[in-house]
Amino acid sequence: MPDRKEINKRGYLKEDFRLFHLKDSRAQKVDYHYHAFDKLILLLGGKVTYVVEDEDKDHPGLVRLVLGEDSFGYLPREQLVTDPKEVVATKTIYVRTAVNLLDEAGAVPGRLVQKGEALTVTGWQDMDASGAVGRWQVEGGYIRAEYVTMDEPSAKAQYDQEVYQLHAERGDSWGGGDAAGLDYFPREKAVFQGHPMPGEVKALYLNNESIAQAAEYVEVADSCGINAFVVDIMDGGAIAYPSEVMKQYSPSAYESAYNTLEVYQTGIKTLKDAGYYVIGRITAFNDPHLAEDHPECVIADQAGEPLQIGGMYWPSVYSRFVWQYKVELGLEAARLMGFDEIQFDYMRFPDGTWAFEEGAIDYRNENGESKAQAVQRFLMYACDRLHDAGVYVSADVFGECAEAYVTAYGQYWPAISNVVDVISGMPYPDHFARNGTYRPWEHPYETLLDWAESAAKRQAETPTPAVDRTWIQAYNAIQPPYNEYGVQEIGDQIRALREEGLTGGFMAWNAACSLTKLEELRPLYEALE
């Protein structure tokens, strides 16, 4: 420290006081100096070099901070640390809802930690300007801050006792799990400024073959008020393009791609350039290629052999390897193609497993979870990762999911709607069972009206409900008398949804993606504008 007589006076103050807000990432060295006025500095964060002025009798016990040019201040020594990891003093955090720890990159799911569990803090990441930690490093991995509390009682408590009790009373009627074991904590829905979601989506579906004709679909859509497309990335065994993620996780899928990457990219670009909101569809747990490449992830018999259910092999919703693969696929597709939203279909366990479950089926359930817990936790993981990349997430559910119980295949509407940005029921009239001589597919308006009433009730039971966007039947009935679905029948479905307050829009399902059919329906879509 130089002699005080050698220190120059710096700075000036013409007003009674002056406020400064300094933000600078540059490393600066400033010579010793003094001011002829008092200077109060509030350090919000950052790395500083400090000097101890032992001869300064006016500031006993304080440390002098060198902040930058013409910037000094004092803080108690006990408020400063030399190791950045010690900036946060928290030693223990508590898990608010069961969730998997992740690796440092936030990609690989590790150990499942349980609600109320205490975790020892070993570090932290992603601190914002207010000092809030984004991710905690704990023994075994990382956990996002929204899944923890600072005390055990609040971690173990239910978010809302009334909400919890409503769902707890529904129990577990069909083997899909207890509704009480799911998470209903409010989740803020994503809003991405660069690509906002339309208020009412009016979408057409394109399979992996039709994307090469994107310009023809745009020509029709431009003329009748359609504003979005749902485009297959993966539909079971039908692979739209050779993905590098597929090459890594499932080589047989990569090798069976229908289009080249260039053809697929061109098709998506055509839709995007025309101004359409574009949704990429992935079948999550219907994947024969993954079953071939990784039989250890597939629902099996007791001998460990993959079990065919409903004519297909099913990767288990319990498998974190499958989680990672499908989310990585969605992230890659959004990055390469510019998808606004990733939609997960077959986001469930297989239906009809009752015939196998009596001691004959192995779900690969390593964590002792219910089916509904696995479904919801997969979607939590998917939303966390895709939202970080600026992508919306939607989930398709069976029409039955609108009922007030957990389905046998693990779908429970309020638990799913609470997590994702969009929930899409599939209440196709020809999928409903006949009642005596009454055929629901002959009454599309009444069928959808009844279903929409139930779906609206489930939305009202959800603390932070997703946008309701419904799949409608845009194909001729597959049950006798094989009713033709034209302008009247498809329009009836849309009107029923709107009348019951499901105004998030519709997606017209026609697996054949028939341009002829679309041309026939042009008057309907024109009338909806």
pLDDT in tens, 470-506: 999 999 999 999 999 999 999 999 999 999 999 999 9
> First-to-last CA distance in the chain?
77
Helical packing angle, 444-460 and 487-499, nearest 10°: 30
DSSP 121: E
Question: CA dist 346 to 91, 316, 506, 513, Å?
Answer: 41, 11, 18, 20
Lowest mean pLDDT among 13-27, 150-164, 355-369, 412-426: 13-27
pLDDT at 30: 63
**Residue 22: predicted pLDDT:** 64
Give the count of beta carbons closer than 10 Å to the beta carbon of residue 1. Answer: 12
Q: Is the pLDDT of residue 87 over 50?
A: yes
Q: What is the pLDDT at residue 524?
A: 85
Task: Please state the rounded mean pLDDT for residues 361-374.
Answer: 96
pLDDT confidence of residue 475? 95
- Asked whether residue 70 carries a pLDDT value surpassing 60, the answer given is yes
CA distances in angstroms from 351 to 147, 189, 311, listed in the order given: 31, 30, 12
Q: Is the dihedral of CA 61, 67, 73, 78 positive or negative?
A: negative
Q: Chain centroid to CA 103: how far?
A: 18
Q: Report the percent of the chain where pLDDT is more than 90.
A: 75
Indicate the helix (H) or strand (E) that contains 460: helix 444-460
Average pLDDT of the segment spanning 20-40: 64
**Amino acid 4: pLDDT:** 47
CA–CA separation, 29 vs 518, rounded Å?
Answer: 70
Domains in the chain with CATH codes: 1-80 (no CATH), 84-157 (2.30.30), 200-528 (3.20.20.80)
Q: Is 312 exposed, middle or buried (0-12, 13-18, 19+ CB in 10 A)?
A: middle
Write the DSSP assignment of 85-97 as a string of letters.
GGGS---EEEESS
Question: What pLDDT score was predicted for residue 526?
Answer: 83
Query: For residue range 452-464, what is the model confidence (pLDDT) as tens digits?
Result: 999 999 999 999 9
pLDDT confidence band for 81 (50 / 70 / 90): confident
CB 1 within 8 A of CB 55: yes
| 3-state DSSP assignment of residue 170 | coil
Residue 389: the pLDDT is 97
pLDDT of residue 41: 67
pLDDT at 38 over 60: yes
- Which residues share a beta bridge with 124? 136
Two tokens, residue 68 = 């930058």
**pLDDT top residue among 213 and 24:** 213
Residue 55 has pLDDT above 60, yes or no: no
Q: Which residues, in sequence order, are CB contacts of 515 under 8 Å at separation 6+?
A: 213, 216, 217, 220
**Beta carbons of 462 and 404 less than 8 angstroms apart:** no
Report the pLDDT averaged over residues 159-186.
94
Q: What value does the mean pLDDT take over residues 107-122?
A: 97
Tokens of residue 202, six digits = 């009016």
Mean pLDDT of 89-111: 96
Tokens coding 169: 């009373």
Q: What pLDDT band is residue 26 in, cutting at 50, 70 and 90?
A: low
What is the pLDDT at residue 433? 94
- The arithmetic mean of pLDDT across residues 345-358, rounded, is 86
DSSP code of 495? H
| SS3 state of residue 290 | helix
φ, ψ (nearest 5 deg) of residue 130? -85, -5
Average pLDDT over the chain, rounded to an integer: 90
Strand partners, 394: 343, 422
Q: What is the mean pLDDT of residues 523-528?
A: 83
Q: Which residues pair with 413 in a beta bridge?
A: none
